[in-house]
Amino acid sequence: MRGHVKKRSTWQFVIDLGLHPLQGCPACRKRYWMEGEPLRRCPKCHGPLEDRLARRQEFHTGYASKREAEEELAKALASITYGTYTQPSKMLLGEFLKDEWLPAIESTIRPTTFLSYQSHVECHLVPALGRIPLQQVTGAQINAFYARLMGQGGDGGKRKVSPSTVRRIHATLHRAMKDALRWNRITRNPADAADPPRTGGEREMKVWSLKELKAFLAQERENRLYPLWLTLATTGMRRGEILGLRWTDVDLEARSISICQTRVLTGYQPLLSTPKTRRGKRLVALDPATMAALREHRRRQKEECLAAGSSWKDSGFVFTKEEGEPYHPERVSKLFIQASKKAGLPGIRLHDLRHYADCRIMPTVPRSAWLFPSVCRS
């Protein structure tokens, strides 16, 4: 790697990077260095492009003295030697996020995670920060962006986005900038200098008493979603896990359920995914009461299939509507809230039902015994 200093209006240094691939347009004679995905057409005249090698030089200007330029040249050559050199680039943050970062990570993360990143990029980051050059993004600009998101930057104080959502957007931006730093696109991560808003802390867990839980299940005994409520309370499954449950995952003979997939939301769109961790894929034991409820539910679902005829949608899921179509996760949560209000019980989240499966509630008594003692004795 070679370089030299020279003076024009100010002192500058030039680094000779050797031969680099580029795409040239024969029509308008524009040249584009290949730094990512190759271009299909010339951005200026839309003509065809030719691939070739050419000598590439980088010019760094604006130094007051020859000595200052020589010192910076030495630093640049050393960083090239150690693989930490960042080439000056006019790439915008929006171009990096949409054209380089998202395509690069799509195959390396879960589909739900990618769709979440994509939503943050397209709905928030690119519209607000996309026109800023990637190498010029600052922590102050990011903080101002967060303030605008929450309505504190000139829209009358009306809060637009919750602090928890802003923190998730910050996590997306921080991950993108971390990758840009790792790929030598930038010299530092500006998101490290940003201050995402604090949240209100963890939401306090609300749990019904055993008497209240029994009252709820007694009220819902004839409801077609009764087996779902009961399974949540006795197995500790999450909403996405139980709505992603298929009959092929249920072994009533072995009294167990295999949790292999989840049905989660990205935005408002349900999507099948796998559990986040290895521990998420697990075998869950069934108590007699839950097994009996699932057997009755399967019998009822078969009757609904016969009644629906050709309009039946064979989704394979355990918990479906009368025509076989799986429930939307948010619909199930709303039905649970409606049932809770009907029973006159304190409001809790659907997610809180799973805490009854924790043996720490009654550590010496099996859950089937304290929920259904008569079934347990039989």
Domain with 326 in it: what CATH number?
1.10.443.10
Domain boundary among 53, 81, 109: 81
Residues 153, 220 within the same domain? no
Q: How far apart are CA 132 and CA 177, in angstroms?
A: 13
Residues 256, 343 within the same domain? yes
- Provide the domain count of the chain: 3
Domain boundary among 193, 223, 251: 193
The pLDDT assigned to 210 comes to: 86
Domain contains 26: yes
Domain contains 187: yes
Residues 158, 77 within the same domain? no
Strand ranges (DSSP E) for the chain? 2-7, 11-24, 31-33, 50-63, 250-251, 256-259, 262-266, 269-273, 282-285
The pLDDT assigned to 201 comes to: 59
**336-348 tens-digit pLDDT:** 999 999 999 998 9
pTM exceeds 0.95: no
Arithmetic mean of pLDDT, 300-319:
94
Arithmetic mean of pLDDT, 3-18:
88
Domain contains 200: no
CATH of the domain at 136: 1.10.150.130
CB 228 within 8 A of CB 332: yes
Overall size of the chain counted in residues: 378
CA angle (147, 148, 150) in 5-degree steps: 70
**83-133 tens-digit pLDDT:** 777 777 888 999 999 999 999 999 898 888 898 999 999 999 999 999 999
Structure tokens at 99: 């054209």
Arithmetic mean of pLDDT, 198-210:
74
Residue 270 bridge partners (DSSP): 265
**211-263 tens-digit pLDDT:** 999 999 999 999 999 999 999 999 989 999 999 999 999 999 999 999 999 99
The pLDDT assigned to 358 comes to: 59
Asked whether residue 156 carries a pLDDT value surpassing 70, the answer given is no
Domain boundary among 193, 218, 251: 193
Residues 72, 106 within the same domain? no
The pLDDT assigned to 41 comes to: 86
Structure tokens at 133: 């050059």
Residues 162, 224 within the same domain? no
The pLDDT assigned to 375 comes to: 40
The pLDDT assigned to 276 comes to: 74
**Which residues, 6+ apart, have CB-to-CB distance to 347 below 8 Å?**
206, 337, 340, 341
Q: Mean pLDDT in the chain? A: 86
Structure tokens at 308: 């629906």
Residues 71, 150 within the same domain? no
Sign of dihedral through CA atoms 35, 41, 47, 49? positive
Domain contains 121: yes
Arithmetic mean of pLDDT, 41-56:
88
Residues 169, 35 within the same domain? no
Residue among 140, 139, 134, 138 nearest 184 (CA): 134
Residues 166, 268 within the same domain? no
Structure tokens at 49: 């492009």
Domain contains 120: yes
Residues 260, 373 within the same domain? yes
Structural domain containing residue 225: 210-377
DSSP H/E element including 93: helix 93-95
Q: Is 327 exposed, middle or buried (0-12, 13-18, 19+ CB in 10 A)?
A: buried
Structure tokens at 179: 């990758």
Domain contains 53: yes
Residues 240, 343 within the same domain? yes
Residues 373, 287 within the same domain? yes
Residue among 47, 56, 48 nearest 16 (CA): 56
Residues 101, 224 within the same domain? no
Q: How confident is the model at residue 158 (pLDDT cuts 50, 70, 90)?
A: low
Domain contains 40: yes
Domain contains 168: yes
Percentage of the chain modeled with pLDDT above 70: 89
